[in-house]
Amino acid sequence: MTVSKALNVFDSFDRFVMGKKVREDTWDYVTIPTNAMNMKEKWSISFDDKIIPEDDDLSDRLFHAGLEMLAITGFYNTNLGRVLSVTEDEILEGIKGAPKKIRLGKGNERVSCKSRRGNSSRKPIIQGGPTGAPVSEDIFSPMMQSYARESVVDVLVSGVLNTVGGHPATTNTPWEIKATLAEIRYVREACSMVGRPGMGI
Amino acid sequence: MNMIAGWEQSGDIIMMEQMPIFGGYCGGVEETAICDVATMLASFALFGCDIHLDGPIHIRWGTTTTVETLQIAAHAAAALDLNTDLLLANQYYTLAGPCTEMCLLEIAAQAVTDTASGRELVSGVASSKGVVKDKTTGMEARMMGEAAATAAGMEISEVNKILGSIIGCYKDQYSKPPLGKRFQDCYDVKNIAPTEEYINVYEKALNTLGKCGLNI
């Protein structure tokens, strides 16, 4: 069925507001496990001992099981306690608009993250960093430099600054904002210190 | 959603993160993979993300490098790779800490898995489950990158054999992983260089990976 347009975040918010009210424990303990089990049975999804599937038919069935799971289940908004409904056609229309390529970084350090197909001989983009792990303020910049100076690393992902000016970066306080901005400055500084100022962060 | 709206209106590149929990509300490996595919599709179709950051995590061990979580990540990525051109990433949470062979082997196993299942970006590494202060270093990212580059283009059947060997080297240590060292204890902080000890550990891991069939 033809859909009028792909959804964006504003359309999705409006759908949440108009969505069906559901208790969070019902969603967690009944809706998700029941629907996931039903999709497993309907699409005959069963993994063997292989880590990576070698059977394209299984991968195809898993895709359709996931697609149908989203369409029959919807998406839960814990703040509103409501469920957004979406059709398979809307999901497929939505993913059509997703980029096949994005560019990260600037100048000499700019890299293209492009769609790979199967195990392409083109390696994935390497994003190095503590990935949200806590890091002391006094070693934050040196630690980020340790990633930036690795030639195999293309772009950076930050850690979490444990304190800012010696003050704990507590969530939902002004210190959190200060710490977040300080993190960005430290990461930029680390890129510059190793001669890669244009690295994507 | 307010933050997504701000990024969307500013024209920013949006990476949306979601980590399905194996053994949680979803259930077993197949059910968790189904929910993983559904949530990845939702990230693009409902919220307009440009690239998705996955991270199937084990409810008992809190890591992404177990057999089950690697299998979920690989199957979900392969399913989307076969049917779409979506940009998919995965993140790394190891049990062992920096400057240990187990940590490097865990990373290599996941990098090989992510690369061979068609992912476009790998992000890490949060060693020591990403919860211990200062237990992350650039050397772990080096292993992630080198293992990914080596695995790119290999036959999947060969990759599965290699993965079986690598995982076999560390899976019996789940309950007592080596804690490893802090950044300031395994790096020369002034010169931003790994210590000789860490270089030796890295070379030992490369040797073990070579015996498993992954010649970096």
- How far away is chain B from the Cα of A102, in angstroms, using its nearest Cα? 8
Of A84, A85, A91, which is closest to residue A63 (Cα–Cα)?
A91
Q: Which residues of A touch B116 (CB under 8 A)?
A: 52, 119
Inter-chain CB proximity B120 and A115 less than 8 Å = yes
Cβ proximity of A93 and A6 under 8 Å? yes
Cβ density class A118-135: b for 16+ within 10 Å, e for less: ebbeebbbbbbbbbbbbb
Chains A, B: CB pairs < 8 Å: 315
- Is the model's pLDDT at A5 over the cut of 90? no
**Closest Cα in chain B, distance from residue A110 (Å):** 14
- A125 vs B115: CA distance, rounded Å: 10
Task: Quick: pLDDT tens for A72-92.
Answer: 999 999 999 999 999 999 999
CA distance B101 to B88: 28
CB-closest option in B33, B40, B137 to A146:
B137
**What pLDDT, in 10s, does the model give residues B141-191?**
999 999 999 999 999 999 999 999 999 999 999 999 999 999 999 999 999
Q: Using CA of residue B22, residue B23, residue B27, residue B30, what is the dihedral sign?
A: positive
The pLDDT value given to residue A154 = 98
Give the pLDDT score at A3: 81
- Partner A contacted by B69 (CB < 8 A): no
* Interface check B216 vs A, CB under 8 A: no
Which one-letter amino acid corresponds to residue A88? E
CB-CB under 8 Å, B74 with A60: no
What pLDDT is attached to residue A12?
96
Largest separation between any pair of C-alpha atoms in chain B: 51
CATH class for the domain made up of B11-211: alpha beta
Name the average pLDDT for chain A: 96
Task: Pick the residue of B30, B65, B94, B135 with the most A CBs within 10 A to test the interface with A by mutation.
Answer: B30
Q: Which of B80, B113, B134 sits opposite A136 (nearest CB)?
A: B134
- Chain B hits for A73, CB-CB cut-off 8 Å, are 38
pLDDT single digits (tens) B122-139: 999 999 999 999 999 999
Nearest CB to B46: which of A37, A54, A94? A94
Cα–Cα dist A156/B178, whole Å = 26
Residue A144 sits at the vertex; the CA angle it makes with A175 and B6, to the nearest 5 degrees, is 50
Tokens 């772009």 — which residue?
A155
Q: Is the dihedral of CA A14, A20, A26, A32 positive or negative?
A: negative
Contacts of B161 in chain A (CB under 8 A): none
- Measured between CB atoms, which of A73, A102, A152 is closest to B51? A102
Measure A22 CA to nearest chain B CA, in Å: 16
Residues across chain B:
216
**Could you say which of B27, B125, B142 has the minimum Cβ distance to residue A152?**
B142
Using DSSP's 3-state secondary structure scheme, residue A61 falls into: helix
Search chain B and give the residue with CA nearest A114: B120
CA of A133, closest CA in chain B: separation in Å? 4
pLDDT tens digit sequence for B46-64: 999 999 999 999 999 999 9
Percent of chain A with pLDDT over 90: 96
Largest CA-CA distance found in chain A, in angstroms, rounded = 58
Q: What is the mean pLDDT of chain B?
A: 97
> What is the residue whose two structure tokens read 């070379």?
B203
Question: What are the structural domain ranges in chain A?
Answer: 9-96, 102-193
User: What's residue A2's pLDDT?
Assistant: 77
- Chain A residue closest in CA terms to B68: A51
Mention every residue, 6+ apart, whose C-beta is less than 8 A from residue B31.
Answer: A33, A36, A37, A39, A40
Q: Which helix (H) or strand (E) holds A66?
A: helix A56-73
Question: Which residue type is seen at A138?
Answer: D
Residues in CB range of B7: below 8 A, 6 or more apart: B14
What is the DSSP annotation of A163-192?
A: EETTEE--TTSHHHHHHHHHHHHHHHHHHH
pTM for the whole structure: 0.96
Q: Residue A47's pLDDT band (boundaries 50, 70, 90)? A: very high
What number is the average pLDDT over the span A124-130?
98
Q: What is the mean pLDDT of residues A174-201?
A: 96
Calculate what percentage of chain B has a pLDDT beyond 70. Answer: 100
B192 vs A28: CB contact, 8 Å cut-off? Answer: no
Cβ-based contacts of A149 with chain B (< 8 Å)? 138, 192
Domain boundaries, chain B: 11-211
Q: Give the minimum alpha-carbon distance from A72 to chain B in angstroms, rounded to a whole number.
A: 11
In this complex, the residue of A66, A125, A132 whose CB is nearest that of residue B120 is A125
Residues of chain A with Cβ-Cβ distance to B152 below 8 Å are 119-124
